[in-house]
Chains A and B, each alone.
Chain A
Amino acid sequence: MSKKGMTIALLAAGMLAAGSAQAVTEIQWWHSMGGALGDKVNEIAQKFNASQSEYKVVPVYKGQYDESMTAAIAAYRAGNPPGILQVFEVGTATMMAAHGAIMPVYKLMAEQHEKFNPKDYLPAVTSYFSDTHGNLLSMPFNSSTQVLYINKDAFEKAGLNPNQPPKTWPELVKDAEKLKAAGVPCAFTTGWQSWVQLESFSAWHNVPFATLQNGFGGLGTRLEFNGPVQVMHIQNLANMAKKGLFTYAGRKDEPTGKFQSGECAMETTSSGSYANIKATAKFAFAVGPLPYYPSVKGAPQNTIIGGATLWVMTQKNPDVYKGIAKFFTFLSSPEIQLDWHKSTGYVPITLAAYELAKKEGLYQERAGFDTAIKELTNKPPTPNSRGLRLGNFVQIRNVIDEELESVWSGQKTAKQALDEAVKRGNELLVRFQKANE
Chain B
Amino acid sequence: MIERRPVLDVLRHVVLIVGAALVMLPVYVAFVASTLSLDQVMSVPMQLWPGHHLLENYAAVLAHGSARFSGAPVGRMMLNSLVTALAIAIGKIAISIISAFAIVYFRFPLRRTFFWMIFVSLMLPVEVRIIPTFKVVSDLGMLDSYAGLTIPLIASATATFLFRQFFLTIPDELAEAARIDGAGPLRFFKDVVLPLSRTNIAALFVILFIYGWNQYLWPLLITTQESMYTTVIGIKRMMAGGDAATEWNLVMATAILAMLPPALVVVLMQKWFVKGLVETEK
Contacts and interface: CB of A to CB of B under 8 A. Distances in A.
A213 to B, nearest CB: 31
B243 A252 contact: no
Interface string B231-244: 00000000011111
A298 interface: no
Contacts of A36: 68
A64 B245 CA distance: 17
B241 A38 contact: no
Contacts of B145: none
Interface stretch (B53-61, B119-127, B131-139, B205-213): B131-139
B135 A61 contact: no
Given A78-B139, A253-B242, A257-B244, A35 B226 contact: no
Contacts of B134: 70, 74
Interface in A5-63: 34-36, 38, 60-63
A34 B245 contact: no
A276 B243 contact: yes
Given A253-B241, A254-B241, A280-B244, A74 B224 contact: no
A67 B223 CA distance: 10
A35 B143 CA distance: 22
B152 interface: no
Nearest to A270: B243
A10 to B, nearest CB: 25
Q: How many A residues touch the partner, as a band?
A: 20 to 34
Nearest to B239: A254
B42 A256 contact: no
B224 A68 contact: yes
Contacts of A74: 134-135, 138, 143
B67 interface: yes
A63 B244 contact: no
Contact of A34 (B135, B139, B242): B242
A272 B143 contact: no
A71 B224 contact: yes
B242 A35 contact: yes
B224 A63 contact: yes
A62 B240 CA distance: 14
A270 B138 CA distance: 34
A261 interface: yes
A48 B57 CA distance: 37
B218 interface: no
Contacts of B69: 34-35
A273 B244 CA distance: 8
B141 to A, nearest CB: 8
Given A250-B241, A257-B246, 12 more contacts: A61-B224, A61-B226, A63-B224, A77-B138, A253-B242, A256-B243, A257-B244, A261-B42, A270-B243, A276-B244, A279-B244, A280-B244
Interface of B: 42, 67-71, 134-135, 138-139, 141, 143, 224-226, 240-246
5 contacts: A62-B225, A74-B134, A257-B244, A276-B243, A280-B245
